[in-house]
Amino acid sequence: MSHFNAKMYQSAQIRQEMRINPRLYQAMELLYMPLLDLEQHLKAELAENPFLEMAEADVQKEVELKEDTKDESLSGDDVDWEEILLDGFDVGGRREPFEVKDYWEPTPVDTRDLHDHLHDQLRLLSQPERALRLGEEIIGNINEAGLLACDLDEVIEGINLWLEDVRPAALENAREIVDDSERAAEIADIEDTFRPYDVAEAEAMLERVQAFDPPGVGAQSVQDCVLIQLRLKDMADHPIYGIVEDHFDALINHRWSEIGKAVGITAREAQEAADELVHLDPKPGLKYSGDSEGYVTPDLIVEKIDGEYMVFVNDTSLPRLRISRAYREVARDKNKYKGENKDFINSKLNSANWMIQAIEQRRQTMLKVMNFIVDRQREFFEKGVQHLRPLTLREVADYIEMHESTVSRVTNQKFCQTPRGVFSLKYFFSSGLSTTSGEDISARGVKDKIKSLVADEDENKPLTDAAIVKHLKSDGVKIARRTVAKYRDQLGILPARMRKRV
């Protein structure tokens, strides 16, 4: 019977494997970064790597810097570079002529959101502490849209659980503070303040919160939100109030005949009553959303100069990097340092050189990509979105002779300022549809055509999806009805039967 004999042994093998250099990861991250993130990253590199410094843009300062470096007091004989190296490159008072001063990061401005706005109004109420505490609990459960995110029973349950936790400590503190003559009344008041909340109290406070600005805030549903706004507009006697209250499902589905029969008015009168709703906001809290301000800083700028579109990188805010002249002297005498000191100098110097090269490579790659986009989409810049041509990442990658993933990183979260406005670079990429002329048209351009057709349609006879297909085919665009329906849904356009005026 044979026995399995397990032994340890060594053997030499030759094999090939692919490994990504850590700096390649860093280069990919630099490509991915939008302008503001890159600016912060470079400032952090300046603070960390002593071999990097900002290049002076002013020629006068450059001349003064050169004259300062010729000062005998700063010559290599007077500066103990070994001591500087061991002190972590802290050159003390001599450092100022060579390196930039501290950076002061801009402090973000604290913006006030919906909850802040509601709390300000709550504090203006002449209510006891117990009522204000309940109001804070209700406001805390209002979502970004301005609607109450849970049932009122859940609000009551949550605040009563909190009361159970804090009541014993509050009563104990009261017994320690007040004397015997005041104890009974004081404790009775505290017990009353910390007794469990009931439904009547919660409903009364919710009604007060619903009277706050913006109108409709604190509603428990979209239907409730609309009703609150109608009451605040003194429209409780208007036909639309009864329609919203009793026939909300038919209203949102535009079943005017059904509503008219139920209310005792004509379908046209029902539709005209519903027109009042365009002045209301079903999500009133969004106006206080912190994400409502979509400010962006363009990474690229396209300008038309003498009939030609020119592309520029908007990098004037980025620090201009160069190798520090002071610390370059440290690396010049390679035989003077050994061991960890030598490794540290080589590492930081190589990192500084690589960073400068990577930033320039990023700049050139962005210019190549944007120049190709401008050349391909020239008709868009001249005539508008309906002339946007289909474009894929693969096409750009093949042209600039780089990988498709590189183009994806270059275009991600990047914006371009053009004569037609500021656009995301992703805006210029979309699939295409065939035309009778043999040229392709961008899907984004087709959507714009659909939007224009619907905007110009007869309200009494709105265009069906089939009718839109016919109009597009007359313009030479080959498209299926289901594709039109998909694009219409993406544009937020209702079907023809719901757009029709009766």
The reported pLDDT for the residue numbered 339 is: 67
> Which pair of structure tokens corresponds to residue 170?
């509050």
In the chain the first and final C-alpha atoms are separated, in Å, by 95
Contacts 24+ apart (CB under 8 A), 198-203: 198/156, 199/152, 199/153, 199/156, 201/131, 201/134, 202/134, 202/138, 202/152, 202/155, 202/156, 203/152
Which of 495, 501, 391, 498 lies closest to 450, judged by CA?
495
The confidence score (pLDDT) of residue 16 equals 67
Using CA atoms, how far residue 119 sits from 136, 137, 202, 225, 445, in Å, is 7, 11, 17, 20, 46
Q: What is the pTM of this model?
A: 0.60
Evaluate the CA torsion angle 92, 94, 98, 101 in order and state its sign: positive
Residue 65's pLDDT is: 44
- Residues in a beta bridge with 323: 52
All residue ranges of the chain with pLDDT < 70 are 1-7, 9, 16-26, 56-111, 170-171, 173-190, 290-294, 330-331, 333-339, 434-439
Query: pLDDT value at position 109?
Result: 52
The pLDDT assigned to 138 comes to 94
Residue ranges per domain, the chain?
Answer: 114-218, 221-289, 432-502
- Phi-psi group of 82: left, alpha or beta (phi > 0 → left; psi -120 to 50 → alpha; rest → beta): alpha
Q: What percent of the chain has pLDDT over 90?
A: 31
Show the tokens assigned to 311: 């592309």
Type of residue numbered 259: I
| Amino acid 431: pLDDT | 78
CATH topology of domain 432-502: Arc Repressor Mutant, subunit A (1.10.10)
For the stretch 365-377, pLDDT in tens is 899 999 999 999 9
**Side-chain half-sphere of 147: how many Cα atoms within 13 Å?**
15
